[in-house]
Structure 1
Amino acid sequence: MQRPHRVVVLVLDGARPLDVGIPAEVFHPETGFPYEVSACGVTAGTVSSHGHFGFTVPRGLDALDDADTVIVPGYVPVGRPLPDEVREALRGAASRGARVASICYGAFALADAGLLDGLRATTHWDAAELLAQRHPRVTVEPNVLFVDEGAVLTSAGAAAGLDLCLHIVRRDLGVSPATEIARGLVTAPYRTGGQAQYLPTARAAVQGETLAATREWALAHLDQPLTVAGLAAHARLSSRTFLRRFTEETGSTPMRWILRARVDAARELLESTRLSVDRIAERVGLGTGSNLRLHFRRLLDVSPSEYRATFSGRD
């Protein structure tokens, strides 16, 4: 029997409790998926955290030696220098082939270890400028939820860590397991990495001024023709106002967002059914199999048949 994928959460002094809890919940073995999650610190024992909490960790940095994925939660003060032994342990894990990820201010640890040099990365919007100043070899993207650079991933603040962890599950196991975990956590199963962080604006949004209901309606009608005008009518807005608000809320145009939703719906059908590619294309509103293949290859860099061979029938 294949051993579980080992996820190790590196809890540094001043760790933010929510950032620590997110991977603990997503990768917990009780989800029924092949993950094993544990926490470590610089040394075994008690680690102080932000907000007068504390964590008891059973292992020190040696835990990174056999980790498949290392996740560094955010910590305060923001951007403080890493202890040399932490820097070397992160470098060692990465050079050994472990996947390394950060949540929120944890990006500063990856940057301090040199793991983000030459890559794109993100962090909480309020620290993005500081990250760019401190680490000019990193291309900081302040307006996104998370950035996937393959073996190194970073997320924005707080709840964006949940989006990142669910994205990792989708990468490892496919859409259906990630959706099941999200359902158990009572959260949206999918927000794209390119979706905008909720940055402060000069004028606070009026309560209830959201397009979430229209997005839910669109997801339920992907097999039908969807246009900006039709979506705007559902939201009871002019097309111009709808387009502006939709882009502000999601970081994407409506039609780009719908295309991604259709491809993701196709992914789930490829995993869970034996429907033909042509039939799946019809059911998700992409019309023809060739159209589905085109967008699938463009967005995921694999064909539908390759994706099905990888993810269908997984436990």
Structure 2
Amino acid sequence: MCKNRAMPHAGFHGPFTRPGRHRVAVLVRHGLLPIEVGIAHRILGDARTEAGERLYEVVTCATEPGELRTTADFTVHVAHGPEALAAADTVIVPAAHERDETYLEGRLPPALAAALGRVGPGTRIASICTGAFVLAAAGLLDGRRATTHWASCDRFRALFPRVRLDADVLYTQDGRVLTSAGVAAGIDLCLHLVRTDFGAAVANGVARRTVVPPHRDGGQAQYVERPVPSPRAQSTGRARQWALERLKEPLALRDLAAVESMSVRTFTRRFREETGMSPQRWLILQRVERARQLLEESDLAVDRIAHEAGFGTAASLRRHLQVALGISPSAYRRTFRAGSATRAGHGGRRAAGAAVPAG
């Protein structure tokens, strides 16, 4: 791992060797989880232009190059030191499981603090799973919305009361700082980064090749351990599918509940248990995704897209897209229209974007 010995291009220094690509540094520590390091390389490393050119260059780094212990029965050789952080456009901090890591007590070891001090002020930074403890101990999450693995949320709240922890979501973005829930939620976060940088078409292509859903419904609340439900308990999956087939129609909560032959109160409770959000919130997110798809892939006018996505009016679409993505429909279309991913692949640093609600 990370034994890239390619000669750097003229005028380009450090561990990154491909000028023009978005540079990603994955900061690992002793006790790293191999799957989490692999997520960043697999998802971001597989994002490509229509011509097949890679859009990201991903390198792994540590506070000191060398052999790192993992949670498996092998070590990992990391060729790059913290200098990679200074050159990165995006930094990703996965989890690490080591009993002696003091960051779990709310403070960073000196070497780790010094390494994070190399991250530029405009660099986007993200964590996977309990990597959020590192960002919080560094003060990067103060006053921001964040998440981490549900099993660690109580400890996180006690250590970092200034962070607005949301224990129910799969990932969060608050300005340039992103966090994700446990392990596999790192896939959701990395796909979100690809969508933000290069559009849904590129992210969907990565998801198809990885054989994962491009967007998972709900949050991590659905994975929290709960008592075994009654055998007679019903799912709300049929109502969700029914709604997806009728997004452009007015859909009342009572209509969705009727599909499952439930009362509105029971349906709402079970829906939240299964997805981690209210039916209304879920419906808005599905309509936003439908609008994004139409803006990228069709020539339809904004008024028509608003109708097809179920927002009714262009003003309503603009309002919801602004809240969800921090951008207007016309600006989104200009950025992510089919073919724009190829142009975006040569842009170097990109803005992190506005806060995006987690799935």
Q: TM-score, normalised by structure 1?
A: 0.89
Post-superposition shift, 1:193? 8.1
| Partner in structure 2 of residue 273 of structure 1 | 298
Give the alignment partner of residue 39 of structure 2, picking from 15, 18, 22.
22
Post-superposition shift, 1:103? 0.4
The 1:209–1:71 alpha-carbon spacing in structure 2 relative to 1, beyond 3 Å, is farther
- Asked if 1:80 corresponds to 2:97, the answer is no
| Partner in structure 1 of residue 272 of structure 2 | 247
Give the alignment partner of residue 54 of structure 1, picking from 75, 82, 86.
75
- Segment drifting more, 105-114 vs 188-197: 188-197
Matches within 5 A, 1:1-315: 3-29=20-46, 31-32=48-49, 33-77=54-98, 80-81=102-103, 82-95=108-121, 97-191=122-216, 196=221, 198-203=223-228, 210-312=235-337, 313-314=339-340, 315=342
Q: TM-score, normalised by structure 2?
A: 0.79
Deviations 1:76-126 (A, max 9, x none): 13663343122122132043x211110011111112222222322211111
Post-superposition shift, 1:28? 0.8
| Partner in structure 1 of residue 8 of structure 2 | none
Deviations 1:207-247 (A, max 9, x none): 99643454344323323343333333444544433221111
User: What is the identity, as a one-letter code, of the residue corresponding to 1:80?
Assistant: T
Aligned partners of 1:205, 1:88: CA distance in 2, in Å? Answer: 52
Once the two structures are aligned, what percentage of the paired residues are identical? Answer: 46
Considering only aligned residues, what root-mean-square deviation do their CA atoms show, in Å?
A: 2.6
User: What is the identity, as a one-letter code, of the residue corresponding to 2:91?
Assistant: V
Asked if structure 1 preserves the Cα contact closer than 8 Å seen for 2:287 and 2:309, the reply is yes
User: What is the identity, as a one-letter code, of the residue corresponding to 1:89?
Assistant: A
Aligned partners of 2:97, 2:191: CA distance in 1, in Å? Answer: 25
The 1:114–1:197 alpha-carbon spacing in structure 2 relative to 1, beyond 3 Å, is farther
Greater RCO (CA < 8 Å, at least 6 residues apart):
2
Asked if structure 1 preserves the Cα contact closer than 8 Å seen for 2:126 and 2:179, the reply is yes
SS in structure 2 at match of 1:55 = strand
The number of residues matched between the two structures is: 314
- Segment drifting more, 220-229 vs 180-189: 220-229
SS in structure 2 at match of 1:259 = helix
User: What is the identity, as a one-letter code, of the residue corresponding to 2:111?
Assistant: E
Stretches of structure 1 that go unaligned for 5 or more consecutive residues are: none
User: What is the identity, as a one-letter code, of the residue corresponding to 2:28?
Assistant: V
Asked if structure 2 preserves the Cα contact closer than 8 Å seen for 1:125 and 1:143, the reply is yes
Asked if structure 2 preserves the Cα contact closer than 8 Å seen for 1:88 and 1:113, the reply is no
Post-superposition shift, 1:5? 0.4
Structure with more of its chain in helix, by fraction: 1
